[in-house]
Amino acid sequence: MSDKVKARQRIDELRAEIERHNRLYYIDAAPEITDREYDQLLQSLEGLEQEFPEFGSATSPTQRVGGAPLDHFESVKHTVPMMSLSNTYSKEELGEFDRRIRKLIPEETFDYILEPKIDGVAISLRYENGELVRAVTRGDGTTGDDVTSNIRTIQSIPLRLSDMIPPTVLEVRGEIYMDTAGFSKLNERRQEAGKEPFANPRNACAGSLKLLDPREVAKRPLDAIFYATGQLDGIVFETHEQMLQTLKDYGLRITPNYWLSSTIEEILDQLDTLENMRHEFPFEMDGGVIKVNERRLYEPLGSTAKSPRWAVAYKYEPEQAETILHSISIQVGRTGVLTPVAELEPVQLAGTTVKRATLHNEDEIRRKGIKVGDRVVIEKAGEIIPAIVKVVTEKRTGSETDFTMPSVCPVCDGEVEKREGEVALRCTNLQCPAQVKNWIAHYASRGAMDINGLGESLVEQLVDSGLVKTPAELYALKNAEVLGLERMGEKSADNLIKGIEESKQRPFEKVLFGLGIRHVGKGAAMILANEFKNIDALMEVDVQRLETIRDIGPIVGKSVVEYFQSMETRTVIDQLRAAGVNFEQAEAGGNNELEGLTFVLTGSLETMTREEGGDKIRARGGKTSSSVSKNTSYLVAGDSAGSKLAKAEALGVTILNEEQFIALLGSDEKRKDQQAGQMGFIF
The neighbour count for residue 588, using CB atoms within 10 Å, is 10
* Spatial distance between the Cα atoms of 311 and 303, rounded to a whole number of angstroms: 9
Question: 538-564 burial string, b = 16+ CB within 10 Å, else e?
Answer: bbebebeebeebeebbeebbebbbebb
Task: Report residue 374: phi and psi, to 5°.
Answer: -65, 150
Beta strands 320-332 and 337-349 are antiparallel
Residue whose C-alpha is closest to residue 683's, from 650, 658, 660 = 660
Edge-to-edge order in the sheet of strand 131-137: 131-137, 121-128, 169-178, 222-233
Between vectors from CA 375 to CA 370 and to CA 376, what angle results, nearest 5°?
Answer: 65
The alpha carbon dihedral of 224, 228, 233, 239 has a sign of positive
> Which residues face 232 on adjacent strands?
170
Decide if 117 is catalytic. yes
Instruction: Kindly calculate the radius of gyration of the chain based on its CA atoms and give it in whole angstroms.
Output: 28
Beta strands 112-118 and 259-261 are antiparallel
Q: Are 649 and 655 in contact (CB under 8 A)?
A: yes
* Spatial distance between the Cα atoms of 617 and 626, rounded to a whole number of angstroms: 14
Q: Are 603 and 638 in contact (CB under 8 A)?
A: yes
Q: Give the CA diameter of the chain.
A: 87
* Spatial distance between the Cα atoms of 382 and 279, rounded to a whole number of angstroms: 10
Region for 413 from its dihedrals, namely left if φ exceeds 0, alpha if ψ lies in -120 to 50, beta otherwise? left
Residue whose C-alpha is closest to residue 242's, from 177, 296, 303, 314 = 296
Which one from 6, 77, 117, 210 is the annotated catalytic residue? 117
Q: Are 152 and 125 in contact (CB under 8 A)?
A: no
Residues 6+ apart with CB under 8 A from 404: 362
* Spatial distance between the Cα atoms of 464 and 666, rounded to a whole number of angstroms: 43
Helix (H, G, I), strand (E, B) or coil at 278: coil
Q: Are 671 and 662 in contact (CB under 8 A)?
A: yes
Strands of 142-221, DSSP E = 143-145, 169-178
* Spatial distance between the Cα atoms of 575 and 114, rounded to a whole number of angstroms: 59
* Spatial distance between the Cα atoms of 563 and 630, rounded to a whole number of angstroms: 45
Task: Report residue 500: phi and psi, to 5°.
Answer: -65, -45
* Spatial distance between the Cα atoms of 8 and 11, rounded to a whole number of angstroms: 5
Q: Are 138 and 82 in contact (CB under 8 A)?
A: yes
Give one DSSP letter per residue of 439-495, joined into a string.
HHHHHHSTTTT--TT--HHHHHHHHHTTS-SSGGGGGG--HHHHHTSTT--HHHHHH
- Write out the catalytic residue numbers: 117
